[in-house]
Amino acid sequence: MERVGGCLCGETRYEIVGDPVRVIYCHCNDCKKQTSAPYSIVASYAKEQVSIQKPGFLKTYESVGDSGMPVKRTFCSNCGSPIFSEVHVAPEMLHIKAGGFDDMSWLEPSAEIYTKDKVRCANINESIDSYAGGRPRK
Ligand SMILES: [Zn+2]
Ligand SMILES: [Zn+2]
């Protein structure tokens, strides 16, 4: 399966091969600020699955996550669309902001994280795994 997506202005485009490792809702406050939406849908892929076709305008903002470790959020510096994020604990992964996919109809999140920060207008009425903070790691 191949997925394509990109930013609002079209200067950033990517192509992804294969299925995501997982798709989740993220209710964390940093995602709210970054996306100006009540939650994010994030599709996580191994880095080698993702190829950025037009990387010319990518810019990365680094902040500190609640783990105390850096979180890198990469966006199109021409139009501001969030493209992907990277977290320190899983350096081999790219977490694609799913709103950038040209077709979002296939997305089926299996969990929601940071429900401690969930707002009322983001109530997801599904029986999926739910975590108050980040997804627990084995
Ligand atoms: Zn753009
Ligand atoms: Zn988040």
Q: What is the pLDDT of residue 138?
A: 57
- State the average pLDDT for the chain: 94
Full residue range of the structural domain in which residue 24 is found: 2-123
**Per-residue model confidence as pLDDT tens digits over 10-28:** 999 999 999 999 999 999 9
What's the CA-to-centroid distance between 71 and ligand 2, angstroms?
A: 10
Q: What is the pLDDT of residue 123?
A: 87
Q: What is the pLDDT of residue 26?
A: 96
Q: What is the CATH number of the domain that holds 78?
A: 2.170.150.70
Residue 137 lies in a domain: no
Residue 138 lies in a domain: no
DSSP string, 62-128: EEE-TTSSEEEEEEETTT--EEEEEETT-TTEEEEEGGGBS--TT----EEE-GGG--GGG---S--
The percentage of residues in the chain with a pLDDT greater than 90, rounded to a whole number, is: 84
**How many domains in the chain?**
1
What's the CA-to-centroid distance between 121 and ligand 2, angstroms?
A: 16
Q: What is the pLDDT of residue 53?
A: 93
What's the CA-to-centroid distance between 26 and ligand 2, angstroms?
A: 4
**What's the pTM?**
0.93
What's the CA-to-centroid distance between 7 and ligand 1, angstroms?
A: 4
